[in-house]
Amino acid sequence: MTQDRSLGRWLWTGVRNIASGVSDNLDTAFNEQRIRLAVTGLSRSGKTVFITSMIQNLIALGQGRDTLPLVTRRLDSNGRSRLRRVTIDPAGVQTIPYFDFQTKLQALARADASWPPRTEDLSEISITLEIEREGLGQKLGARRVRMDILDYPGEWLLDLPLLDLSHAAWSEDTLERLRTPDMLPQTGKFLEFVRGLSPDGPVDEATVRRGHALYKETLSALRNSFGLRYLQPGRFLCPGPFGDAPFLWFFPMAGTDGPLPHGSIGRLLLDRFETYKREIRANFFDTYFKSFDRQIMLVDVLGCLYAGKLAFDDTAAAIHDLAVVLRDGWGSWARGRRPEGWLSDLPWPLSLSVNAASYVVSTLARNKPVDRVAFVATKADHVPELDRQALKSLLSHLAKSAAGAIEADRAKVSYHVAASIRSTEDVTLQIDGRPMRAVQGVLTPGGRARPFSPGQIPAAEIPDYFWDAAYFELPDFLPPRINPRGNEGIRHLALDEVLDAVIGDLL
Ligand SMILES: Nc1nc2c(ncn2[C@@H]2O[C@H](COP(=O)(O)OP(=O)(O)OP(=O)(O)O)[C@@H](O)[C@H]2O)c(=O)[nH]1
Ligand SMILES: [Mg+2]
């Protein structure tokens, strides 16, 4: 009898669990829309700051603050917001590190508020917006829009064009680029070293390590001296969990396409290069970058404009390739190749990478295309309001060829000028009795606000004489201190416009 009863209870519990499992699934299918949002950009373009500000402003919006006016308008129903709440989803059992939102927020709330450090590894966060349905749908209760957002070091993205290159092809491309006359002061030492080596020569581990170290120093020097970003392999500048594993100890060298004896330097470099490709493909691209629904492409237009022509062209090439390749996971690279004559005066040949990488497309599954792509010129608080239109035109010029390819696939493309955390005020200065537009912000903790004018921003084609002016780095204004509870949101410029363009249709 007791046995019968416990069997009955066991069966009943089983039925109940199954039923609740089914209803959970039904609830998810019916009430939840899940999207993967790609916040993409080269290193220092502003990804981490953007994600932090976006989440905090959405949370504050969910608490009734009008932090994102255009989104508020979208959610308005006869003067009442349909947004019930915005929550960060618990970490659950996810295998990727969690995007540590709270720590970033706390750093902004301290008396000496500071920007987040460079991102060193991949992390993910999911947020859920609970929204009431409109009209007759109201009776069905609230629905949920869940967004999965990935943060990662910008350098890693640039390994994408490497994936289907042989060591020989990559070396040819890279060495030619390093021979660009303006770069020789930074690249000469490595070029001389590699000229003295023969790919057939026997491996001497100390020499290979030295070559690797010299090549890494060269990449860092190009990044620091010219503000270049299209530097490969990305893990040489930001190794992440691979640390300094031996398969990373390679460098470009001519002549690795012929037969190479076992135990030769060329064979070792080639083997390490192939292992590198396999590792990053399996551990990063295949795993995390396969499919996105919406894409936000952040571009530090101002930073590269004032870093000079090399940096500007380098960014233009990189955003073209990234925007196109990420549009539908991977599947568009081939179709989106840069048209003939596009930026024909680029200082190095990229066609080799682009052509070879098109092969990658045919070997990887095509995913659902991205339906919306927003290009955003970040850190626009360095520019007075009246000059932001020129910045927007410049961004659309820079992204023109990428956008053309994306639009051909019927994705909606938009352009924006934004600051995720507005750190300046607009001011008018008097220079020789004439008014001049500027912004001002604080550069050192406890210091006074200093004015800054970026000068005239070219709105499209950049005239040659523009590059004659001295190059400079944008001032790094400190972020304003935010309310320690963070519930007032974070001051921004046009973040609501970006969100409205990218997810407005889901609200
Ligand atoms: N004034 C201003 N500066 C910004 C803004 N957003 C980013 N910055 C500056 O840009 C720097 C880089 O921003 P991050 O968000 O860390 O850039 P990232 O793309 O995550 O960079 P990686 O992690 O290196 O790939 C910050 O440390 C700030 O100095 C902004 O809205 N306004
Ligand atoms: Mg970052």
- Residue by residue, DSSP assigns 437-462 as EEEEEE-STTPPEEEE---PPP-SSP
Which DSSP letter does residue 460 get?
S
Going from the Cα of 21 to the center of ligand 1, the distance in angstroms, rounded, reads 43
DSSP3 helix / strand / coil % (the chain, rounded to 5): 45, 15, 35
In this structure, are residues 147 and 126 in contact, taking their beta carbons and an 8 Å threshold?
yes
Instruction: Give the domain extent around 448.
Output: 425-468
Closest-approaching ligand to the CA atom of 474: 1
449 within domain boundaries? yes
- Residue 436 inside a domain? The answer is yes
pLDDT of residue 61: 95
Return residues with CB closer than 5 A to ligand 2 (ion).
47-48, 119
Rounded Cα gap, residues 334 and 409, in angstroms: 13
Q: Please answer whether residues 309 and 346 qualify as being in contact, where contact means their C-beta atoms are separated by less than 8 angstroms.
A: no
Paired with 127 in beta bridges are: 88, 147
* 18 found inside a domain: no
Ligand 1 pocket residue status of 378, Cβ below 6 Å: yes
Which is more confident, 383 or 291? 383
Residue 154 CA: nearest ligand 1 atom is 25
pLDDT at 92: 73
* 23 assigned to some structural domain: no
Distance 442 CA to ligand 2 centre (A): 22
Atom of ligand 1 nearest to the CA of 300: 10
CA-492 nearest atom, ligand 1? 31
Report which of 295, 315, 498 is spatially closest to residue 397, judged by C-alpha positions: 315
Write down the pLDDT at residue 354.
38
Ligand 1: centre distance to CA 467 (Å): 25
Mean pLDDT of the chain: 84
Split at pLDDT 50, 70, 90, the class of 407 is: low
Residue of 115, 223, 237 with the most ligand 1 atoms within 8 Å of its CB, for mutation: 115
Determine, yes or no, domain membership for 419.
no
Region of poorest pLDDT, from 101-115, 190-204, 246-260, 392-406: 392-406
Chain position carrying tokens 């010219």: 226
Q: Which residues of 219-240 are buried (b: 16+ CB within 10 A; e: fewer)?
A: bebbbebbbbbbbbbbbbbbbb
**274 part of a folded domain:** no
More confident site: 504 or 91: 504
Give the mean model confidence (pLDDT) for residues 182-209.
95
Residue carrying the six token digits 């398969």: 247
Nearest atom (ligand 1) to Cα of 423: 1
**Secondary structure element (H or E) that encloses residue 502, with its range:** helix 495-503
* pLDDT of the residue at 345: 39
Which pLDDT value is given to residue 165? 84
**Rounded Cα distance, 119 and 48, in Å:** 8
Q: Which atom of ligand 1 is nearest to the CA of 119?
A: 23
Q: Give the residue, out of 40, 44, 304, 491, with the most ligand 1 atoms within 8 A of its beta carbon, to mutate for a pocket test.
A: 44
Tokens coding 238: 């930001």
Residue type for position 22: V
**Distance from the alpha carbon of residue 495 to the mean position of ligand 1, in angstroms:** 14
Q: Is the pTM of this model over 0.75?
A: yes
**Tens digits of per-residue pLDDT, 418-467?**
999 999 999 999 888 899 999 999 999 888 999 999 888 998 888 888 88
Largest CA distance in the chain: 101
CA of 420, nearest ligand number: 1
Domain contains 455: yes
User: Locate tokens 């004489």: which residue?
Assistant: 465
- The ligand placed nearest to the CA atom of residue 52 is 1
Query: Relative to the CA of 49, which ligand 1 atom is closest?
Result: 15
453 part of a folded domain: yes
- Confidence at residue 459, expressed as pLDDT on a 0 to 100 scale: 86
pLDDT digits (tens, 9 = 90+) for 310-330: 898 888 888 777 766 655 444
Q: What tokens were used for 178?
A: 């390093």
CA of 355 to the centre of ligand 2 (A): 29
Task: Name the more confident of 173 and 184.
Answer: 184
Please give the tally of structural domains in the chain.
1
Structure tokens at 320: 């073209």
User: Cα of 495 to ligand 2 centre, how many Å?
Assistant: 17
